[in-house]
Amino acid sequence: MSDLPRKAVTRTAKLAALPLGFAGRSAWGLGKRIGGLSADLVGHDLQQRTAEQLFKVLGELKGGAMKFGQALSVFESALPEEIAGPYRATLTKLQEAAPPMPTRTVHQVLAERMGEDWRDLFEEFEDKPSAAASIGQVHRGVWHDGREVAVKVQYPGAGEALISDLTQLGRFALLLGPLIPGMDIKPLISELRDRVSEELDYGLEAQAQRTYAEEFADDLDVVIPDVVHQCEQVLVTEWMDGVPLAEVIREGTQDERDRAGQLLARFLFSGTARTGLLHADPHPGNFRLIPGDGSGEDGDTAQWRLGVMDFGTVDRLPEGLPPMIGTALRMVIEGEAEAVYELLRAEGFVKESIDLEPAEVLDYLVPVIEPARAETFPFDRDWMREQAARIADPRSPAHQLGKQLNLPPSYLLLHRVTLSTIGVLCQLGASVRMREEMEAWVPGFADDEDDEGASPAEDTSA
């Protein structure tokens, strides 16, 4: 690939090939079944072909198409295993890699944004990218003061591509919906499109990352690389080594999975309470598991820390998480059906024109918040699939009730981040003390007398 495809007609044609390809393969599959082949064999082949095309198109286009693919990849835990298998390998590739932009283009962007003498700012600069994402790619280097750095360079035309891709994908939302049962694709695409301008602004990203880095500078559990330099289309941060979370998902030990899961939950809830910001892009490519000095050769993970990258998408919540969330969750656990229903209605989750039975609403919510009820909850793909199937099956009471609930716009991003994090925890298969983290960091979840207890962030054991 020579450059980021920018012409709208070219990108639209490639994206249009996705739903057309789905339809064509479905017809091909029907023909095969009529010809006598096993439906299971034909289904597997269909999914494999679809996954391959999905990665090829989204990976080549980058931009909003790849951003959509990354968002989908964290939800593959919800797919039935016979479908998830072919998608898993191809979708997770979008988290860590994509076809690189040419070296000449990288040099051109650096010269335009950092000056013709940009090489003088580095002792070393690697032309081969170490990672690629939806709107830019990362190069490893050594800053002029000797620090190892990550240099993120934005693809030329990324903004135009993001908006064009997500607008086009929005038109195909109904056809793409079956990729993730139980999830409404259209609001996801709409919300991603609304965040385009923020993610393209490396100045905002640098500001958010500096806020996190300062707050977590001496933290025992979380590592945030500091910002070294920022200008338009270029962001230079400290380099961070560690085990990619995708690698832990593929081949980590159970101790590593549990430690990563605990720290991921801790970061999700504590980050907003401590910074007033919500890291809103929780796919595995943005996390590392960093061995601590005390881990030693025996493999003890108690001192391992979570490294967090990419602060391009954040939600600004200066007051922290809305107390309504913690209060409603606590009420569900305590079985207060009427109180939960009235709170949901007051916050707009139940529209005034809708009348529901409080007991039925409680029954709908209880399985979803199961992780917050147990002292330790074992996240796994089977649980995720069970929840997705319960909500997606048109014949189920949960599906019918869910259609009548409303998600206020102010909660949309928080909802997506929470679902994405749960998806990653299920990919990890981690056992997590979720309730402990929520009692410490989620306003309204714990009783008043418990709020004064020690923060779990002070406890480095997992």
pLDDT for residue 87: 54
Q: What is the pLDDT of residues 6-61, one digit of tens each?
A: 444 455 555 555 544 444 433 333 333 333 333 333 334 544 555 555 555 555 55
Question: Does residue 39 form part of some domain?
Answer: no
pLDDT-based confidence at residue 449 (cuts at 50, 70, 90):
very low
Residue 447 or residue 418, greater confidence = 418
**According to the model, what pLDDT value does residue 88 have?**
56
pLDDT above 70 for 157: yes
Does the pLDDT of residue 415 top 70, yes or no?
yes
Residue 82's pLDDT band, with cuts at 50, 70 and 90, is: low
Which residues have a Cβ under 8 Å from the Cβ of 461 and sit 6 or more positions away?
A: 302
Question: Is residue 266 pLDDT above 80, yes or no?
Answer: yes
84-117 pLDDT, tens digit each: 555 555 555 554 445 578 899 999 999 999 999 9
pLDDT of 318-376, one tens digit each?
989 999 999 999 999 999 999 999 999 999 999 888 899 999 999 989 888 999 999 99
**Averaged pLDDT, 193-204:** 80
Does residue 164 surpass a pLDDT of 80?
no
Q: Is residue 398 predicted with pLDDT exceeding 60?
A: yes
Q: How many domains does the chain have?
A: 1
What percent of the chain lies above the pLDDT cut of 90? 45
Flag whether 360 is in a domain. yes
What would the pLDDT profile of 426-445 be if each residue is shown by its tens digit?
999 999 999 999 999 999 99
Q: What is the pLDDT of residue 241?
A: 93
Residue 33 maps to a domain: no
Q: Please give the pLDDT value at position 84.
A: 54
Q: How confident is the model at residue 168 (pLDDT cuts 50, 70, 90)?
A: low
Residue 391 confidence (pLDDT): 78
Quote the pLDDT of residue 370.
Answer: 93
pLDDT of residue 433: 97
The answer, yes or no, to whether residue 76 has pLDDT greater than 90, is no
Indicate if the pLDDT at residue 1 is higher than 50: no
Number of neighbours of residue 16 by Cβ within 10 angstroms:
14
- Looking at residue 293, what is its pLDDT? 63
Higher-pLDDT residue of 409 and 39 is 409
State the residue range of the domain holding 389. 243-462
Q: Express each pLDDT in 282-327 by its tens digit.
A: 888 899 999 876 444 445 788 899 999 999 889 999 989 999 999 9
pLDDT at 383 over 80: yes
pLDDT at 95: 46
Max mean pLDDT among 233-242, 383-392, 402-411 falls in: 233-242
Answer yes or no: is 333 within a domain: yes
In a domain, 7, yes or no: no
Q: Which residue has the higher pLDDT, 251 or 403?
A: 251
157 is a domain residue: no
What per-residue confidence (pLDDT) applies to 453? Answer: 38
**Secondary structure of the chain in the HEC alphabet?**
CCCCCCCHHHHHHHHHHHHHHHHHHHHHHHHHHHCCCCHHHHHHHHHHHHHHHHHHHHHHHCHHHHHHHHHHHCCHHHCCHHHHHHHHHHHHHHHHCCCCCCHHHHHHHHHHHHCCCHHHHEEEECCCCCEECCCEEEEEEEECCCCEEEEEEECCCHHHHHHHHHHHHHHCHHHHHHHCCCCCHHHHHHHHHHCHHHHHCHHHHHHHHHHHHHHCCCCCCEECCCEEEEECCEEEEECCCCEEHHHHHHHCCHHHHHHHHHHHHHHHHHHHHHHCEEECCCCHHHEEEECCCCCCCCCCCCCCEEEECCCCCEEECCCCCCHHHHHHHHHHHCCCHHHHHHHHHHCCCCCCCCCCCHHHHHHHHCCCCHHHHCCCEECCHHHHHHHHHHHHCCCCHHHHHHCCCCCCHHHHHHHHHHHHHHHHHHHHCCEECHHHHHHHHCCCCCCHHHCCCCCHHHCCCC
Confidence of residue 243 (pLDDT cuts 50, 70, 90): very high
**Average pLDDT value for the chain:** 78
458 in a domain, yes or no? yes
Q: Give the mean model confidence (pLDDT) for residues 188-216.
A: 85
Is 12 a member of any domain? no
